[in-house]
Structure 1
Amino acid sequence: MKYQFGLVFFAAFVVLIIDLYLFWRWKHSGLYDNLTGKFSSLFLFLLMPLAAFFGFFYIGLRMQGAEGSQIYVAFGWFFMAFLIIYAAKLLFSGFDGLQLIVNRLARPAEPKVRHYPRITRRKFLSQIGIIMATAPFVSLLFGALKGRFAFYVREVQLSFPNLPQGFDGLRIAQISDLHLGSFGDNREPLTEALELISDSRPDMILFTGDLVNNFAREIDGWEAVFAKLPAPMGKYSILGNHDYGNYSRWDSDAEREANFQGIVEGNKKLGFTLLRNESLVLSRKGDKIGLAGVENWGTASFPRNGDLEPAAEGIKDLSFNLLMSHDPDHWDKQILPQDFFDLTLSGHTHGMQFGIEKGDFRWSPAQYVQKRWAGLYREGDKFLYVNRGLGCHGLPARVGMPPEITIFILRRGAISEEGLN
């Protein structure tokens, strides 16, 4: 809680500095000299920051006692509007400040006679600042209208020498972080995503947690959509940090427990076998491998209910084992040291729903929060894959980090990995 308040006060401080600087520039540019300029400055530098402050304060209070996911959706859109406005203000302030510095440092030169139009350094930097200030608006608007529904099917082929021959060619679809409440009543986008999964012909489907934002009722009405999702070898799921209902106040422990049990039952209603620190044996063509799933195990304030010991019971004698664990931090902290699970599938990060991935270059704010934040990681002969998520949480947009469906093709052979698209 102290950490969250620290972020709020830091954001408020940044907003204050930006608006004070822009007001100072507004006043000294002559825009403040007329009545229109005075009213505009009142709106831009007083009413707008006050609306942001009280808006966050009000929504924060409402979220604590929320009974449904609507307030989370409202927060997402409010937060996006705030980012668009203040990212634009910040970028413009940066270029405008650079212009001031350049003008101060530039030495006065003898005026030259010119016979053609010339753009001044000041005007050039000012125009660049205006252009850059529009970038957040354009990118976030695209991310909200198109990016969050631009589902991407990513195929990854992994080879293991200890994979039983009967599982050579096994196709696994991984999805993660659905956050069903963020879709509201709009069933169409996720229906399209599930059709893409079906078209990929997976043998089984693994869902790595965060079915909801916080409430069991978010699952209502989705049963028919998920019923169309075929998987000959089954559909399996685990719990993520949002599936415990810890993001609001409850009138009683009994009410919280009832919500949690509703989420547990909701996994079953959607056709998933929920694994809670347990495992099962999968059979194919006369051979066997193990599949385990643990409850959420995370760092910081996230639940640490995952327990690898009971999860591994019953599959210790098998040559190859899969694990589902929602938070990728679990891999480095506990899973790798045990040297037992060959492939671990995680989610949780969403890739922060914002980033750049071009060839070998990858950047996202997520990398400053978590060591393993998206894609495939390898340590020796063990692999971790962090799915970028299929839904959205917080910001109702995705920029450079499209919602992901991962199709794994397992092969028997020398240890290797290959991205097929």
Structure 2
Amino acid sequence: MRYHLVFLWVLVLLVGTIDWLLWRILITKEVQQGWRKWLGVAGLIVLPILFLAGFLYFGLQIPDASSPQVYNSFGTFLTIFLLIYLPKIFFLFVYGVGRLPDALPRKPARQPERHYPRITRAKFLSQVGIIMATAPFVTLLFGVLKGRYAFYTRHLKLSFPNLPQAFDGLRVVQISDLHLGSFGTNRDPLKEAVELINAEKPDLVLFTGDLVNNFAGETRGWDEIFGKINATMGKYSILGNHDYGDYSTWPSEQRKAANFKSIVAANRKLGFKLLRNESISLSKDGDVIALSGVENWGHPPFPQYGDLEKTWSQTNGEAFKILMSHDPDHWDAEVVGKKRYDLTLAGHTHGMQFGFELGKYNWSPAKYKFKRWAGLYQVGKQFLYVNRGLGYLGMPARVGMPPEITVLTLRRG
């Protein structure tokens, strides 16, 4: 709790400083009166207090939350905070950079120079800053209203010399990180996603974890939607770090165990066969490949329920093997060079729900947390694909990192 309070006071100090600087820049002595003065006071005093109270409230509520509504309310609160303060921070950056030359020492001019009044320069920078500060506001607002539902289908073709002939052309659709509680009662977006999945006519649909945010109740009513996903060779799933109920304080271990049991059962109701540290064989025209699913394994603070040794022991010498593992860090820790899985599918990162991609170059804050955070990776003859997630968590927005449906076509190379 002590660290939470320190964070909150640092946050309110930051917010107060931002509003104070804006007051000094935008409100001149001539207008520091009447309604404009009170508007400035509201920004300088009232807003920081309100946001401090909000963060304090949710900081106390979330650990003991008993329903997804608390998480969704915090996401809305955080979005409002960012919509207000991101433009302010952006404005101060633009204004500060523009005024930087004034702070640098200058050599005495040899010839008379024409000097514009300082106030004119300041006003110009203020106007430019205000115009440019609208960019983060509009971008985030678009991410809230449209970006989180702008489903994007990514197609990849991968070749493997050891892929059995009967599986040449196998179409695998991967989805990940549904976080059903974040959608609340809004079913329509994921109906569209299911239509996009079926349009790809997949042989396999593989879901790589995080069905919920925390609670089994989030899955109610979704079976009618996900039950309509069609795959000729089946639909399989694994558990993600959010599926264990670890992000809440439970009144008893029995309640937590009952919640987890219901989440496990929900995978079956939604039409998925859940693989929990186990492997199965998939057969076609006399050829066989292995499909393995390991429980969540991540670096702390993420849980390590995965048992790859147990999972690997259930394979039967198949020439080609696919592994589902929620956290991409698991690939480097226990798979590459240790277990001969040809293709590993992961999720977990969401691409931080923010970033951009220009051709082959992509960037997201996720790259500073995860070594493998989105897209395709290869080490030797082993491949990892990290799905950016179909749902969202926390802030109800996606900016430059659209919800993803991955279609992998496997060829015999």
Quote the residue 1:311 is aligned against. 311
Cα deviation, residue 328, structure 1:
0.4
Listed one character per residue, the Cα deviations across residues 84-137 of structure 1 (whole Å, up to 9, x for unaligned) are: 1111111111222233333344858845599xxxx9544442222112211121
* Change beyond 3 A, Cα 1:332–1:267: same
Listed one character per residue, the Cα deviations across residues 246-287 of structure 1 (whole Å, up to 9, x for unaligned) are: 111110000011001110001011010001100100011210
CA–CA distance in structure 2, aligned partners of residues 10 and 372 of structure 1: 31
Quote the residue 1:185 is aligned against. 185
* Change beyond 3 A, Cα 1:113–1:251: closer
Q: Does the Cα contact within 8 Å between 2:175 and 2:404 map onto a contact in 1?
A: yes
Cα deviation, residue 24, structure 1:
3.6
Listed one character per residue, the Cα deviations across residues 174-196 of structure 1 (whole Å, up to 9, x for unaligned) are: 00000001111111000000100
Cα deviation, residue 10, structure 1:
4.6
Partner amino acid, structure 2, of 1:37: R
Quote the residue 2:93 is aligned against. 94
Asked if 1:233 is matched to 2:233, the reply is: yes
Q: Which runs of 5+ in 2 are unaligned?
A: none
Quote the residue 2:153 is aligned against. 153
Q: Provide TM-score, normalisation by structure 2.
A: 0.94
Cα deviation, residue 32, structure 1:
5.6
Quote the residue 1:385 is aligned against. 385
* Change beyond 3 A, Cα 1:178–1:2: farther
Asked if 1:163 is matched to 2:163, the reply is: yes
Structure 1 SS opposite 2:336: helix
Aligned length: 408
Q: Does the Cα contact within 8 Å between 2:8 and 2:52 map onto a contact in 1?
A: no
Q: Does the Cα contact within 8 Å between 1:31 and 1:37 map onto a contact in 2?
A: no
Q: Does the Cα contact within 8 Å between 2:16 and 2:45 map onto a contact in 1?
A: no
Cα deviation, residue 300, structure 1:
2.1
Residue identity over aligned pairs, in percent, reads 55
Asked if 1:281 is matched to 2:281, the reply is: yes
Cα deviation, residue 6, structure 1:
6.3
Cα deviation, residue 8, structure 1:
4.5
Listed one character per residue, the Cα deviations across residues 143-187 of structure 1 (whole Å, up to 9, x for unaligned) are: 111111110010110000111111100000000000001111111
* Change beyond 3 A, Cα 1:350–1:9: farther
The 5-angstrom pairing of residues 201-350 of structure 1 reads 201-350=201-350
Q: Does the Cα contact within 8 Å between 1:140 and 1:399 map onto a contact in 2?
A: yes
Quote the residue 1:68 is aligned against. 67
Cα deviation, residue 46, structure 1:
1.0
CA–CA distance in structure 2, aligned partners of residues 113 and 136 of structure 1: 34
* Change beyond 3 A, Cα 1:8–1:34: closer
Q: Does the Cα contact within 8 Å between 1:89 and 1:133 map onto a contact in 2?
A: yes
Quote the residue 1:57 is aligned against. 56
Write out the 4+ residue segments of structure 1 that deviate beyond 6 Å after TM superposition: 1-6
Cα deviation, residue 412, structure 1:
0.5
Q: Which runs of 5+ in 1 are unaligned?
A: 414-421
CA–CA distance in structure 2, aligned partners of residues 91 and 354 of structure 1: 17
Cα deviation, residue 339, structure 1:
3.6
* Change beyond 3 A, Cα 1:3–1:372: farther
* Change beyond 3 A, Cα 1:337–1:55: same
CA–CA distance in structure 1, aligned partners of residues 221 and 253 of structure 2: 26
Partner amino acid, structure 1, of 2:306: G
CA–CA distance in structure 2, aligned partners of residues 31 and 347 of structure 1: 56
Asked if 1:103 is matched to 2:97, the reply is: no
Structure 1 window deviating more from structure 2 (145-154 vs 54-63): it is 54-63
Quote the residue 2:47 is aligned against. 48
